[in-house]
Amino acid sequence: MNARPCSRRWLAIALSTLALLLAAMPVMAKSREKILTETLRTYAATIRWGTIEQAESFVDPAYRAAHPLSQLELDRYKQVRFTNYNDSAPVPVNDDEVNQTVEIGIVNVHTQEARSFIDRQVWKYDRKAKLWLLSSGLPDITRKD
């Protein structure tokens, strides 16, 4: 008879633990969503008001290593000012990836010519670092949409 109360106690503990874990899952998912929202907002502000070097810190290190910015590209970024950043809601591809389409406006600081282009971004979640990284690279300001 002593085995039954002990088994029931363990079952109650196991069920309580399972309930706590299941209750915590949406909180963990919201955490990732909150991190994404904060990352996208900060990146937009960095593109609009910061430097290209600051914006580059959002880019996946593996992408940066494979596609380092040349001096020519850096010089091109210095010739423009970002004037507009109209982003759409991110579209989930899976749990660790979202796509976002952004219309970016720029003006050439020398000619004052203004134009806009579409930047198609891919953001991937790094589970180890618990952050979202831009895996599609910085905006291509040479695009003519």
Cβ-Cβ contacts under 8 Å for 88 (sequence gap 6 or more):
100, 101, 102
What burial class does residue 134 get, using C-beta atoms within 10 Å of its C-beta: 0-12 exposed, 13-18 middle, 19+ buried?
buried
User: The domain 29-134: what is its CATH number?
Assistant: 3.10.450.50
pTM over cut 0.75: yes
pLDDT in tens, 37-63: 999 999 999 999 999 999 999 999 999
Q: Render pLDDT for 91-132 as a digit per residue (tens, 0 to 9).
A: 999 999 999 999 999 999 999 999 999 999 999 999 999 999
Per-residue DSSP letter, 82: E
> Cα(first)–Cα(last) distance of the chain, in Å?
78
